[in-house]
Amino acid sequence: MSQKILLNTKEVNIILHRLACQLIEKHLDFSNTILIGIQPRGTFLANRLTKILKEEYNISDLKLGLLDITFFRDDFRRSEKPFEANQTQIDFLVEDKNVVFIDDVLYTGRSIRAALTAIQSFGRPKSIELLTLIDRRFSRDLPIQPDYRGRQVDAINNEKVLVKWAENDGEDAVYIDIKK
């Protein structure tokens, strides 16, 4: 397997700030908007965006939740390896709120479909948008597209996109693993 870097630390940082600005343009003060990081990997992106919005753009009234979709996945019982559940942390209602799902990579769309089902346990949102760092546009199984995307990647099926976060992996970078 060989690795190729798609985004380095500087490029990831630029994209994060651009995504934060796009969110501000659409949601202004976030008084009726909730950010929801999809567990597990979307939480790093959601936490980083929340930090940027609060510290660098002075958005004070910002609600962030973390959503576990493990038991809502359509492949839950099909895997030989058991899934590990994460903890959902949503301590507010989503009823009539604008929800922005945040995930690191949009691949087949199945995680987002599971998130759409899971969020209904917390109320009926007014609207739902999707923000992803990486959009693998030619790999969709479901008709799901991001409203906000960091980078579009044309990876084929034997290529895997790996997003690394400084908090978890020691660096901010995006790689593509090519299986030979």
Tell me the pLDDT tens digit for each residue of 28-52. 989 999 999 999 899 999 999 999 9
User: pLDDT confidence of 179, banded at 50, 70, 90?
Assistant: confident
- Residue 109 falls in which region: left (phi positive, over 0), alpha (psi -120 to 50) or beta: left
pLDDT(26) > 70: yes
Segment among 40-49, 116-125, 131-140, 149-158 with least mean pLDDT: 149-158
- End-to-end Cα distance, the chain: 6
Class in CATH terms, 3-70+91-178: alpha beta
pLDDT(70) > 90: no
pLDDT(149) > 90: yes
pLDDT score of 156: 78
Tell me the pLDDT tens digit for each residue of 105-122. 999 999 999 999 999 999
Q: Is 116 exposed, middle or buried (0-12, 13-18, 19+ CB in 10 A)?
A: middle
The percentage of the chain sitting over the pLDDT mark of 70, rounded to a whole number, equals 92
pLDDT(1) > 80: no
Nearest C-alpha neighbor of 147 from the set 98, 114, 110:
98
pTM: 0.92
pLDDT(82) > 80: no
